[in-house]
Structure 1
Amino acid sequence: MQEDRRGRLHSTGEVARELGVSTRALSRWAKEGSLTPALVTPGGRYKWDLEDVRRQLRDMR
């Protein structure tokens, strides 16, 4: 995935593939409060800013 620096929000699947983690892990971390998605849709789906997720993961270490 080419990084989009214009602030495009990505699906959980796109971010999981880019980072090499499972979609379940991303969703679990969001539910636990370890990661904060950029947006939660009215249907409950997470949308992510890839660079923000990378920063949050670095900060978790």
Structure 2
Amino acid sequence: MRLLKWTTNFDVYEESPVVPMDQATTTVSHPFLACVMVKMDVSKKHPKEFWIGSELNGYLQKS
């Protein structure tokens, strides 16, 4: 069972390229830390880094 955001063009027979990614949970490498779920479109090139935080306060996280 997967929960997906409903849209007006939702098609139950079409597989979505957007999937939840969480390496720490998958490998149980850091069970004592909070994890952030990142949704990525697997049909597009993955970013090498991404911004975490608000527009004025945050940092770049390498992927």
Q: Same fold (TM over 0.5)?
A: no
Quickly name the TM-score band, shorter chain normalised: under 0.3
Return the TM-score normalized by structure 2: 0.23
Instruction: Pick the structure with more strand per residue.
Output: 2
Compare CA radii of gyration and give the structure with the larger one. 2
Return the TM-score normalized by structure 1: 0.24
Instruction: Pick the structure with more helix per residue.
Output: 1
Higher relative contact order (CA closer than 8 Å, sequence separation 6+) = 1
